[in-house]
A and B are shown apart, each in its own frame.
Chain A
């Protein structure tokens, strides 16, 4: 009885070809996400407060200003390297950190809660 009811609801929501359509869409989305992950393995990911906020290619030539996020910090991506050019934090550990290249690594600014990370699929973590 219950099964019949579910079946009926299912039938009103989906027509025959719909399931195939949903399946194709799932496949397309999964493929897109997978490919974007694969291609962007050397992306520069900027996290603010633990959430991914910006993504750039390591090969781009750009200065990322975080003033729109209320943070006085400038991150430079140039010549395949990423580094912090300016930060108002008291420790300046992020400014002192060596630039990250495509081989991976991260720069952390704890006072500003900013993490800049370049993922490398061949290296799981960096000490």
Chain B
């Protein structure tokens, strides 16, 4: 009897160990899912370390987490210096650079208008509602706040940000996920791994095959695929990710700061891929990749491709008729 019990125990143990690998689990952070794959399918230890680091970043830079830098800044009155972390200062710096490079198409100060549209994480509700777009007059009344350079005074020495208007607000949502992925090199080390934070993806120490989601319900759920080289990241901005419909019109979450309305330049999906910016490798390249995808979506085809070429990144742009452009040296295969 003892022997049978012992043998059974060994068998159960083996089964648990083997089957356990297939029940891959996700973490939830930055309002999305985090999936980490390593050589051994899923390394829970690495995934947990990554989750904890990203969770730490979220608690600093998310505008909807209580007592985060941005939550305190956004509710602060004008002329009050708000203490912020180095991470927030670095994100502001990158954002300001992208704001100028993109002719203000990338603009974290558009947040009051995003909130008016109801696209911010706290208030986005679609179910059971006939959601109407906001009035033009209400949009126009807030557009003056989307002035990143003049509405915010940044003191890098004393690590503070001061608003020049109490209603001004910031959201690094279009750069924060990419930025955070770029800071994972130390945790990952030399492990071959791919980290997927809600479609913002970075690969380490190995080439991976990455797909681009079909923006519309066509034959396949994957529009095409390409090789993501080690150290490269991808970010995709699409009109299908967060939207609502009213009177047959789709209103999506990527707001054009020049009009205060959802960007409408014929693009429905932009994927930016890079491991370096202007030919220089750095940990912040994933942050730029994230910001460029939003910028190109807002700028449209011509100006968008100009920006892509200026910064030297790779891209796949999908237009509303499902035609597409591939920019840079990318082995893209349409599926």
By a beta-carbon cutoff of 8 Å, the part of chain A in contact with chain B is: 12-15, 18, 21-22, 25-26, 29-30, 33, 37, 47, 50-52, 81, 87-93, 96-101, 103-106, 108, 110, 113, 115, 118, 120, 122-127
Contact = CB atoms under 8 A, between A and B. Distances in A.
A124 B37 contact: yes
A84 to B, nearest CB: 12
Contact of A127 (B23, B125, B235): B235
A125 B194 contact: yes
A50 B26 contact: yes
Contact of A22 (B10, B24, B28, B243): B10
Interface in B223-280: 225, 228, 234-236, 240-244, 271
A88 to B, nearest CB: 7
Given A99-B221, A104-B221, A110-B32, A127 B240 contact: no
A26 B28 CA distance: 35
Given A123-B211, A126-B196, 12 more contacts: A51-B23, A81-B221, A92-B127, A99-B217, A100-B221, A105-B222, A113-B28, A124-B37, A125-B194, A127-B196, A127-B199, A127-B213
Nearest to A32: B18
B127 A26 contact: no
A98 B221 contact: yes
A118 B222 CA distance: 11
B201 interface: yes
Interface stretch (B1-9, B86-94, B104-112, B321-329): B1-9
Interface string B14-56: 1100110011111110011101010000000000000000000
Nearest to A98: B217
A87 B124 CA distance: 15
Contacts, number: 139
B23 A29 contact: no
A81 B88 CA distance: 42
Given A26-B14, A90-B125, A98 B213 contact: yes
Contacts of B221: 81, 98-101, 103-105, 118, 126
B210 interface: yes
A86 to B, nearest CB: 10
Contact of A88 (B27, B127, B220, B244): B127
Contact of A52 (B23, B28, B214, B243): B23
Nearest to B241: A93
Given A51-B25, A127-B236, A90 B126 contact: yes
A97 B240 CA distance: 7
Interface of B: 2-3, 6-7, 10-11, 14-15, 18-19, 22-28, 31-33, 35, 37, 124-127, 194, 196, 198-201, 203, 208-217, 219-222, 225, 228, 234-236, 240-244, 271, 335
B127 A103 contact: no
Contacts of B219: 101
B222 A123 contact: yes
Given A98-B221, A101-B219, A127-B234, A18 B3 contact: yes
A127 B271 contact: yes
Q: Which 5 A-B pairs rank lowest in CB-CB distance, beginning with the nearest?
A: A50-B25, A103-B222, A52-B23, A92-B126, A124-B208
Contacts of A29: 11, 14-15, 18
Given A103-B335, A126-B199, A127-B271, A47 B212 contact: no
Given A91-B126, A92-B127, A33 B37 contact: no
A91 B124 contact: yes
Contacts of A115: 26, 33
Contacts of A118: 221
Contacts of B3: 13-15, 18
B9 to A, nearest CB: 11
Contact of B211 (A90, A99, A105): A105
A115 B10 CA distance: 32
Given A93-B241, A110-B32, A125 B210 contact: yes
Nearest to B222: A103
A21 B127 CA distance: 58
